[in-house]
Structure 1
Amino acid sequence: MRLFKKFRRSEGNSASNHHDGRMSRFLRRNFSTQGNLDEGLQLLNEYLGLTAANSHLTMSGDETVKAPTQAHARAVIYAPDMDGQADPGEVVWVNIRTQKNGELELRSVLIIGRRKHTLLGLLISSNADFNDSPNWIRIGSGPWEQEGNEAYIRLDKVLEVPESEIQRRGVSMPERRYDLIAARLRSDYGWH
């Protein structure tokens, strides 16, 4: 701050050339760029743990909890908003184990609610065996299924997922399909 005041006082003086030189040297020495923007972003990503080398650290375990749907009965609304938080109606991707002691799989999940920083979601699957199961309903194809197959959503289990463990891709369930899911949650599982 003192240097800035000194520089401002000297602007009108003939001796300002001397101070301009000092200021220029000061600015070059302390504020010159080293490398380029890509290198800076790479360093920042490494520091934040967002590089491929660190990806095993961020998504290393199955942090999801599976619970009966009735245990989470609450108001169900459609409110997708591609802001900072995942909202009901959005489809997100989560690393989960679908079988006991199985490998982690990146699976699509429909968000139906939240509890602070924990999201409540329903598992989406393209397994046609679920077509006749009373705990699953058909939701059709969409961006939640990479190969364009018909998909189904599980209603009897809610996944509790830490919001920090999801991947967002800007996908939301169409409102009419979400309304069908909400109607089943209300009629069969005590949601309102």
Structure 2
Amino acid sequence: MTTFSESQAEFPGAEGPYATTEADPGDVGAVRTQYAPEHDGDPDPGEIVWTWVPYEERDGRGKDRPVLVVAREEAGTLLAVQLTSKRHDGGDWLAIGAGPWDREGRDSWVVLDRVLRVHDRGMRREACALDRGRFNLVVNRLRELYGWA
């Protein structure tokens, strides 16, 4: 993965009007999760896409990483949760196993306590669709945590 040391201009979602930002999951309004992947180059709920994700320290740094799109907002933006290959058990992490989004075939975990707002033009590439079963595991847990529909 690439870090801030390279030019942010190379990474959609790093800055400007299409920057990936954190969203308060309890304050995003009505969220309707729906599995709707379409392999068309645009991010859709159910797809794993690559975008710039700011570090939690909010110091202007971040890195290009995979996120799972879980919902489309009325304004056209998307809500997503980041993936990590660093093992975590329980708590605000959910194991989703391995998939083609990771070239090394490592298992991945979804970070449930950090919801991101992604723009269509703020992603670098569409990686793949997550299967419906694993997508449902993630959104059902998000619904429990945040009261989403």
Percent of aligned pairs with the same amino acid: 34
Contact 1:58/1:165 (8 A) holds in 2? no
- Quote the offset at 1:170 in angstroms: 4.6
TM-score normalised per structure 1? 0.63
Equivalence for 1:83: 40
The 2-side partners of 1:164 and 1:58 are apart by 13
Distance 1:163 1:58, change over 3 A: farther
Does 2:106 match 1:149?
Answer: yes
Per-residue deviation, 1:104: 3.1
2:108 maps to amino acid: A
Q: Distance in 1 between matches of 2:65 and 2:127?
A: 15
Write 1 or 2 for the structure with the bigger share of helix: 1
Q: 1:145 Cα shift?
A: 2.1
The match for 1:14 is none
TM-score of the pair, normalised by structure 2: 0.79
Higher-strand-fraction structure:
2
2:81 matched residue in structure 1: 122
**Where do residues 1-192 of structure 1 align in structure 2 (5 Å cutoff)?**
57-59=9-11, 61-62=14-15, 63-72=19-28, 73-83=30-40, 85-100=42-57, 101=59, 103-115=61-73, 116-128=75-87, 130-132=88-90, 134-192=91-149
Distance 1:93 1:85 in 2: 11
Q: What's the offset of the Cα at 1:103?
A: 4.1
| Equivalent pair of 2:11/2:64 in contact (CA under 8 Å) | no
Q: Which runs of 5+ in 1 are unaligned?
A: 1-54
Larger RCO (CA under 8 A, 6+ residues apart): 2
Q: Which amino acid aligns with 1:174?
A: D
**Higher Cα Rg: structure 1 or 2?**
1
User: Gaps (5+ residues) in structure 2?
Assistant: 1-6
> Do the aligned residues in 2 keep the contact of 1:118 with 1:160 (CA within 8 Å)?
yes
For residue 111 of structure 1, report the CA deviation from its aligned partner.
Answer: 0.5
